[in-house]
């Protein structure tokens, strides 16, 4: 049952949004291409006024490597409806992606992802907001697990298609201060049949502090 739900949820995750298009979203997955006539969903992976200077600086650095540098910016919406073509959920139903469920910019998960297919890496620039507090002034460990899972998961999805997380191991080395900027750097290390093994490190914006090291095992669906 769960497996079938996962299949449905993750079916056809290849999504491309034409940046010029104001009123259409083009989704394609094997054999089917559809154009939804709807208002262009907001891509939350663009800078907003709450991004600090380190977040902005890193964003510009990765963006500069998107033109011929092997990286591409990954769009980020606040519902899976916009992420998944042919979503089985009723589009009118109000669901929110966990990492995009707060209305006010800067309060929760502020992040932006970049993908490098040749290196099998997904990098997430992450600025945890005040509503992600765990220890006073620092980010909750569950939120850290979430951004690791989301980053490594997105990397696995972009490389392999639909996956579900089967195992997530994290060593928390140094706390992450709320409002700081960190780099979540994941890599697909190997693929064995349906198993996709990834590693993920979180480092400070200037690379001087290792915050976490982790491994995440994803299982491919639809094979």
Give me the least distance between CB of 188 and ligand 3VV, in Å please. Answer: 13
By CB under 6 A, residue 35 contacts ligand 3VV: no
* Residues in contact with 1: Cβ distance below 8 Å, sequence separation at least 6, in sequence order: none
C-alpha span between 73 and 125 (Å, rounded):
11
Report the residue number whose CB is nearest to ligand 3VV.
Answer: 153
Give me the least distance between CB of 176 and ligand 3VV, in Å please. Answer: 19
> Does residue 87 carry a catalytic annotation?
no
Give me the least distance between CB of 100 and ligand 3VV, in Å please. Answer: 10
30: left (phi over 0), alpha (psi -120 to 50) or beta: beta
By CB under 6 A, residue 83 contacts ligand 3VV: yes
Give me the least distance between CB of 148 and ligand 3VV, in Å please. Answer: 10
How many C-beta atoms surround the C-beta of residue 98 within 10 A? 13
C-alpha span between 59 and 92 (Å, rounded):
33
By CB under 6 A, residue 27 contacts ligand 3VV: no
By CB under 6 A, residue 201 contacts ligand 3VV: no
Q: What token pair was written down for 186?
A: 């994941």
By CB under 6 A, residue 34 contacts ligand 3VV: no
By CB under 6 A, residue 87 contacts ligand 3VV: no
DSSP symbols for 99-154: GG--SSTTSSEEEEEEEETTTTEEEEEEEE-GGGBSSTTBB-HHHHHHHHHHHHHH
Contacts of ligand 3VV in 126-155 (CB under 6 A): 149-150, 153-154
Q: Which amino acids are annotated catalytic?
A: 149
Q: Which residues of this protein are in contact with ligand 3VV, per CB under 6 A?
A: 2-3, 6, 9-10, 13, 80, 83, 149-150, 153-154, 157, 164-167, 193-195, 217, 219
């Amino acid at each position: 049952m769960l497996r079938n739900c996962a299949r449905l949820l993750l079916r056809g995750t290849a999504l491309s949004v034409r940046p010029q298009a104001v009123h259409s979203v083009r989704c394609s997955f094997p054999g089917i291409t559809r154009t939804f006539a709807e208002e262009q969903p907001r891509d939350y992976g663009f800078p907003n006024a709450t991004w600090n200077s380190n977040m902005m600086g890193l964003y510009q650095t990765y963006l500069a490597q998107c033109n011929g540098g092997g990286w591409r910016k990954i769009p980020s919406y606040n519902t899976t409806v916009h992420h998944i073509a042919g979503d089985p959920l009723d589009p009118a139903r109000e669901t929110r992606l966990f990492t995009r469920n707060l209305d006010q910019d800067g309060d929760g998960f502020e992040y932006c992802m970049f993908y490098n297919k040749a290196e099998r890496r997904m990098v997430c620039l992450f600025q945890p907001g005040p509503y992600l507090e765990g220890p006073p002034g620092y980010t909750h460990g569950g939120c850290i697990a979430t951004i690791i899972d989301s980053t490594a998961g997105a990397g696995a999805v972009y490389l392999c298609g639909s996956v579900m997380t089967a195992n997530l191991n994290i060593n928390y080395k140094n706390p992450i201060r709320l409002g700081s900027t960190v780099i979540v750097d994941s890599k697909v290390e190997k693929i064995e049949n349906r198993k996709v093994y990834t590693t993920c490190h979180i480092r400070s914006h200037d690379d001087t502090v290792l915050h976490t090291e982790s491994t995440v095992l994803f299982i491919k669906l639809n094979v």
